[in-house]
Structure 1
Amino acid sequence: MTTATQGLVGTAHPRVEGRDKVTGAARYAGEIPFAELAHGWLVLSTVARGRVRALETGPVLALPGVLAVLHHGNAPRVETDYTGLLGGRPDPSAALFQSDRVAHRGWPVALVVAETSEQAREAAESLVVHYEQEPHDVDFSAGRASEAYALDSHVPAVAEKGDLEAALAASAVVVDAEYTTPEEHHNPMEPHAATARWEGGRLEVVDSNQGTNWVAGELASLFSLDPASVRVRSEHVGGGFGSKGLRAHQVAAVMAATVLQRPVRVVMTRRQMFSLAGYRSPTAQRVRLGADPDGRLRALEHRALNPTSAVHDFVEPSAAAGRSMYAADAHHTASQIVRLDVPTPTWMRAPGEAPGSFALESALDELAERLGIDPIELRVRNEPEVGPVSGLPFGSRNLVACFREGARRFGWDGRDPRPGLRREGRWLLGTGTAAASFPTTAMPSTAAVTAEADGTFTVGVNAADIGTGARTALTLVAADALEVPADRIRVRLGDSDLGPAIIAGGSMGTRSWSWAVTAAAGELRRSLAPGADIPPEGITARSNTAEAVAALAQKERHAFGAQFAEVAVDPATGEVRVRRMLGVFAAGRIVNPLTARNQLVGGMIWGLSMALHEEAVRDRASGGLYGADLAGYHVAAHADIGDIEADWVDDPDPDDPVGIKGIGEVGIVGAAAAVANAVWHATGVRHRHLPIRPDRVLMAGGDA
């Protein structure tokens, strides 16, 4: 090794692939050329429940360029009796065309394949499908609780400690309130796209996903293939947010490529994504808090309900958010589901914590109001010494430091807690705050680091850079581990042939991959003799962190944060403007401040959008969504965003080789509650139902 440098981790560094992305040199899944490429177009059901009685395929097959129409009568059979990478059974909506049943509006009923995308679309839109329609039920509300059941997944659905009713009865002040959040959708900038082909007896899929091992393993199981015979590549991904796992388009592409024995590409339209890419389910939540006059919590109950599809269970673990936040003698939380004729929900950025924090942190604000205690001080008084439910020690917990620093920078001191007093012309002004947390961990991953003959190093790790800057972060981590400049590091990722690695999700990607890269780099340094020549093929060291990360289970590990918002509300029009937001986070060692701040600010903007704009509304009559596109589904636009700032306190994880925790999701947590609490401070009206639309502001004579 030659001249070394140290300390790149923690310094701002532009994305190593940034130039390629802004010049168009970085190609996404739907852009990569293939010889003899055919195009598939999905046909989705127009009824919400029933059976496909017949398809008029003859006229479609006669159209120019049409090669095939796949449906339940002729599609390849697949295997669905297996457990996937993430521990559950596959969603039947991804196991395409296996029966004539229709489980929801937008269910895939056929795939039309043609020579060009335009021909496939025209043919798909002309396919006549006859249905035997059945009555459907898409009506979700808190009143469905009697039908609900618990699902034990990776997050336990129910957790109980202490005598809840006794603690509530002994409390001087009790808050008992219901909160709701609507159906929300991911809609990453890049639509879901996949191309499948068979090459030398091996299936290759070029895809846009959050984990190539994940998708490769699912496809191997579905199609009963040797896992070694499946390769999935996903070099550049234009956003995922939890939606880009195994979906209908990949399975459809593989089916068509198998039948036609040529490459086939399937790309979802924006409208199809509203049916096929998953979404955050609506929630109905009840929070009961009981406290002594000094604000110490005696009881904390959080119950959450969300709908799932009639064919697959998915729970939004909203109630789990409070299990790590506040100490209480009695601590009861439960997340339950009810089956409806709707598409299956899925993970969406900060699953559980995003909607759960809105309810819990709004209820804390209501309790602070009732007690006459500053909202920050109330949270400080209920800081736990160990996990409130688990009893485990925290790896590190710097939430109070976030609130103290945030309050100083935001100008919280001297805030008059009384609502509806600050006015600026026609605007009522208010400020609000909320806590943020998201669990962090590392999962087993592998990596390979090769010393090349030209003095550079190649890092191979099956990470997924979904826009987070993972490729750049891993470059900096590897450079520090090898003590070389960053320009001597080349990172390869997004290829299942690189070996097992955890997905990009759960705020654990960069931490898990960095651990594996650091271990492989350390092994390589130990194997290189000083001044030794490197052979043309290079020298490679490999790592597997399965044993090392197992020790993390002995502690509770979370990223924390404090969210602050100032709003202006026009009581005459109902308009709410967020003038400024500040988030201060304790999220481990920050690898790259440039991309980290981008992630945190992006999460806060999403929280603002959640508070004021986002709401997918389902039509009871048809079972579908009103305005299933980005014209009908409102998100925060540039003009909606004021001054937003994110920063962090020093918070390295002592048990991680780099000190990383994870920042992908904590930025959205608590942001909606901070905005809602600020709206209450501005107007004196408590909004318990998101989004806080102008009509809700206008119509709210009391609590909304």
Structure 2
Amino acid sequence: MPDDMLNAMAKPTVRVDGAAKVTGVACFPSDEPVENPAYAYLVTSTVARAEITSFDLAAATAVPGVLDILTHENVGRDIKPNRGFGMSANTTTLEGTRVWHQGQTVAVVIAETFEAARDAAARVVVHYETQEPSAGFGSPGAHEEPATPMFGPLPQKGDFDAAFAAAPVRVEAEYETPTQHHNAIELFTTTCFWEGDTLTVYEPSQYIYGSRAALAEQFEMAQGNVRYVSRFIGGGFGSKGPSARTGWIALAAKRLGRPVKLVTSRQQGFTTETYRAETRQTIKLGATRDGRLTGLRHEGWELTSRPSGYNVAGVGATATMYACDNIQTAVNVVHADRNTPGFMRAPPEVPYMFALESAMDELAFALKMDPIELRRINDTQVDPAHGHPYSSRSLMQCYDQAAERFGWSERNPEPRSMSDGDWLVGYGCATATYPANVGPASIRLTLSKAGTVIAELAGHELGTGAYTVVAITVARQLGLEVADVTVHMGDSTLPPVALAGGSNNAATISNVSAIGCESVRRRLAEAAVADMASPFGGKDAAVLRLEGGNLVGPGNLTEPLVQSIERVGGTLTVEADYVPEGLPPEVMDALRQGQAVMLPGHGRQDATTAAFGAHLVEIRVNRHTREIRVPRIVSAFAAGTIINPMAARSQYLGGAIWGVSSALHEATEIDRRSARYVNHDLGEYLVPVNADIPSIEIIMVPETDTIVNPLGIKGIGEVGIVGMNAAVANAVFHATGQRIRKLPIRLEKLL
């Protein structure tokens, strides 16, 4: 793409779907109208480890309006188990008598009204033969084993043991991060109905082709007979994927012969869906006295369910962060009587970069070195784990701009040396990083003789501005206004798009949009040069471009688009595929079959691609009460081409706020006797409010990357949260002299 087009795209644009959302016109899945729906309510287990011996349904079936109650006894073998993330075995629900964790779905009540279904569900009596559960790390019966990494082999390089033994300066520490739950504003919801052999599902999904494939597999039916609709998602963050609930609601609708609607409760969302698993980690850093890393060892332990091997293995991120010749990593999973975890915003990086960036701060303190300078000394333009150059890496530019804006030079390096009345003041920093992933996709564009365009693709709008990203890209590429472009997404009848995860969404849908637009331009240009009566007759089609509603050529030759389109029949429809460089062409077939296909940031042989950033944080701790405040944050990011700075700033702000939440507020508390979540609602699951986040300044560092993908786009949805928990922890240490290595940091840990 030409530089002037990149600059033109970097223009703040109001969201094209904004008015629909704020006026209630936008249809989220639970809003989709269906005729005469029945309502479902889940019955969940009250124990964490057991076998179900029987049900007493008499009181439940006596509730007026109850239509059906699904249990393992009447439907357990009617559909195949949900495969979840597909990487290993998963916990079951109604397929048998096994209870894997507290809050597991064990029955589904269907009734004429939501109230009747909820009332009846409360009256279902489940009899169990219980066993003593294991709640997690350190619990009797918890089973540990080496992990099978989800994202490929773990980095190993050089001879760490020898390097660490010889290092004149060494840091060795243990870190812990807690269980955290997504708690998106939109609850988990499913509506299903059948028309003959065709099943329609309204459900929030971050990969509708994948969700469709998973459901078709459960019912052993053709994928083409399943339609998934997810036009808008009220927050996903990794949670809106294939779910066990979907199959049972689809089965209930089939048994009743009418639509069935389910909206889970907030409490049920904690146990029937996924979450961020807690971790324990050890880090060893060896360095020279001038701060150069000579050895890095990072080992993690991650909690998972009994049957699942799910893990995020975030050492793959930490091993690529800084120059080091000797790297050793390992990851283990610990099986307990808990529900299976899953992806949550920056799944590997949030917990694992907390440990690395905290350890780097500890190393800086041991060296009596400024922590930003330590990172500068170990900055690298070559991925140390994979040996590839970075396509671009503007980390230190981020630190420099953030430090100048923040006033980092005023920092007294001694802990507990800065104060303001009763408040101890601390400055902390940490690095943010996230791989620049990208996926395959298809698009259909229809250009009308009025000069308007319809763009159709099965993309996903999680609240991040995906509709607007497509509209901006198409408008700029075709020389139109954003208002001239109508975008349809979120329907499995549209051309496929890779899952919206791993911050690939903007890069994927923008690049496929641009390829589709080039097909439109080429078709119009070829028709124009073939017509000797046109201004471009006999000219070179390759030099014609679309600009300002015209077909434009050398010498200021122009033709209104309304005339150019007549030459190809009055309307023009094109379909185009985008296969990222480094993936084989056959990935398009896999994508159409619902397989999760993506090119990871380290998946190319010529370069590693990633976005980078720097967080600088001011913390204030009351010297008497130990109350913690975050009055000021400056975060700078470099992520290639920014399609819409207005939406980008919003994403960065959201990530930074969630990072503060990860550091100071969020933790799902577990009763270790019963393996039960005890704060499973927004009344007791702590998140920050406006008063907790007075000032966040976002700096977008310009960066041009001609290697990462044709449009130079790196994802931004997840990089904003990475490292913030460590920056806060490092600032707390600077303010108080107390190093807190277990999140969240609350005042009781500072007393």
**TM-score over 0.5 for the alignment?**
yes
Tell me the SS of whatever aligns to 1:550.
Answer: coil
Structure 1 position 114 matched with structure 2 position 114: no
Distance change >3 Å, CA 78–CA 381, structure 1 → 2: farther
The match for 2:535 is none
Matching residue's letter, 1:424: D
Residue-by-residue CA offset, 1:510-538 (whole Å, 9 max, x unaligned): 11111111111111221123423288993
- Work out which of the residue numbers 499, 508, 532 in structure 2 matches 1:503: 499
Please say if residues 81 and 244 of structure 2, whose CA atoms lie closer than 8 Å, have aligned partners that are also in contact.
no
Please say if residues 40 and 265 of structure 1, whose CA atoms lie closer than 8 Å, have aligned partners that are also in contact.
yes
User: Aligned-pair distance for 1:414?
Assistant: 3.7
Please say if residues 669 and 677 of structure 2, whose CA atoms lie closer than 8 Å, have aligned partners that are also in contact.
yes
Distance 2:371 2:650 in 1: 28
The match for 1:468 is 464
Q: How does 1:425-504 map to 2 (within 5 A)?
A: 425-504=421-500
Please say if residues 82 and 247 of structure 2, whose CA atoms lie closer than 8 Å, have aligned partners that are also in contact.
no
The match for 1:515 is 511
Structure 1 position 636 matched with structure 2 position 688: yes
Larger deviation, residues 134-143 vs 516-525: 134-143
Structure 1 position 254 matched with structure 2 position 250: yes
User: Aligned-pair distance for 1:247?
Assistant: 1.5
The match for 2:409 is 413
Q: CA RMSD in A?
A: 2.0
User: Aligned-pair distance for 1:451?
Assistant: 0.8
Larger deviation, residues 575-584 vs 70-79: 70-79
Residue-by-residue CA offset, 1:521-575 (whole Å, 9 max, x unaligned): 1112211234232889932111112264529712211110011000100121111
Please say if residues 8 and 476 of structure 1, whose CA atoms lie closer than 8 Å, have aligned partners that are also in contact.
no
Distance 2:325 2:428 in 1: 27
Residue-by-residue CA offset, 1:156-189 (whole Å, 9 max, x unaligned): 3x32111111000110110000010111110100
Residue-by-residue CA offset, 1:213-242 (whole Å, 9 max, x unaligned): 121111011111101111100011110000
User: Aligned-pair distance for 1:401?
Assistant: 0.9
Residue-by-residue CA offset, 1:287-330 (whole Å, 9 max, x unaligned): 10000000000001111111100122211323222121011121
The match for 2:73 is 73
Give the alignment's TM-score, normalised by structure 1: 0.95
Matching residue's letter, 1:354: V
Distance change >3 Å, CA 257–CA 143, structure 1 → 2: closer
- Work out which of the residue numbers 648, 652, 657 in structure 1 matches 2:704: 652
Matching residue's letter, 1:58: A
Q: How does 1:331-480 map to 2 (within 5 A)?
A: 331-480=327-476
Matching residue's letter, 1:533: E
Distance 1:174 1:653 in 2: 36
Structure 2: runs of 5+ lacking an equivalent: 529-563, 585-602
- Work out which of the residue numbers 694, 715, 734 in structure 2 matches 1:681: 734
Distance 1:145 1:126 in 2: 33
Distance change >3 Å, CA 569–CA 231, structure 1 → 2: same
Give the alignment's TM-score, normalised by structure 2: 0.89
User: Aligned-pair distance for 1:249?
Assistant: 2.6
Structure 1 position 692 matched with structure 2 position 745: yes
Please say if residues 428 and 731 of structure 2, whose CA atoms lie closer than 8 Å, have aligned partners that are also in contact.
yes
User: Aligned-pair distance for 1:89?
Assistant: 4.4
Kindly tell me the number of residue pairs found equivalent between the two proteins. Answer: 691
User: Aligned-pair distance for 1:143?
Assistant: 11
Distance 1:135 1:379 in 2: 47
Please say if residues 151 and 313 of structure 1, whose CA atoms lie closer than 8 Å, have aligned partners that are also in contact.
yes
User: Aligned-pair distance for 1:11?
Assistant: 0.5
User: Aligned-pair distance for 1:481?
Assistant: 1.5
- Work out which of the residue numbers 537, 549, 553 in structure 1 matches 2:604: 553
The match for 1:328 is 324
Please say if residues 8 and 477 of structure 1, whose CA atoms lie closer than 8 Å, have aligned partners that are also in contact.
no
- Work out which of the residue numbers 95, 114, 128 in structure 2 matches 1:131: 128
- Give the % identical residues: 41
Matching residue's letter, 2:235: G
Structure 1 position 627 matched with structure 2 position 623: no
Distance 2:570 2:732 in 1: 63
Tell me the SS of whatever aligns to 2:60.
Answer: helix
Residue-by-residue CA offset, 1:573-611 (whole Å, 9 max, x unaligned): 111100101110011111101110000010000000111
The match for 1:88 is 87
- Work out which of the residue numbers 564, 579, 583 in structure 1 matches 2:616: 564
Distance 2:241 2:458 in 1: 15
Distance 2:464 2:412 in 1: 39
Residue-by-residue CA offset, 1:13-62 (whole Å, 9 max, x unaligned): 11111111111111211122211211111100001011111111233223
Distance 2:65 2:409 in 1: 69
User: Aligned-pair distance for 1:141?
Assistant: 4.6
Distance 1:371 1:246 in 2: 48
Matching residue's letter, 2:323: A
Please say if residues 398 and 560 of structure 1, whose CA atoms lie closer than 8 Å, have aligned partners that are also in contact.
yes
The match for 2:230 is 234
Q: Which runs of 4+ in 1 moved over 4 A?
A: 4-8, 78-84, 141-146, 534-537
Please say if residues 7 and 480 of structure 1, whose CA atoms lie closer than 8 Å, have aligned partners that are also in contact.
no
Tell me the SS of whatever aligns to 2:304.
Answer: strand
Please say if residues 270 and 680 of structure 2, whose CA atoms lie closer than 8 Å, have aligned partners that are also in contact.
yes
User: Aligned-pair distance for 1:652?
Assistant: 2.7
Structure 1: runs of 5+ lacking an equivalent: 699-704
Distance 2:459 2:14 in 1: 19
Matching residue's letter, 1:42: L
Distance change >3 Å, CA 371–CA 547, structure 1 → 2: closer
Please say if residues 452 and 534 of structure 1, whose CA atoms lie closer than 8 Å, have aligned partners that are also in contact.
no
Matching residue's letter, 2:336: L
The match for 1:58 is 58
Distance 1:265 1:350 in 2: 31
Matching residue's letter, 2:291: G
Please say if residues 144 and 338 of structure 1, whose CA atoms lie closer than 8 Å, have aligned partners that are also in contact.
no
Distance change >3 Å, CA 24–CA 565, structure 1 → 2: same
Q: Please tell me whether Structure 1 or Structure 2 has the larger radius of gyration of its CA atoms.
A: 2
Please say if residues 249 and 267 of structure 1, whose CA atoms lie closer than 8 Å, have aligned partners that are also in contact.
no
Please say if residues 283 and 304 of structure 1, whose CA atoms lie closer than 8 Å, have aligned partners that are also in contact.
yes
User: Aligned-pair distance for 1:80?
Assistant: 4.9
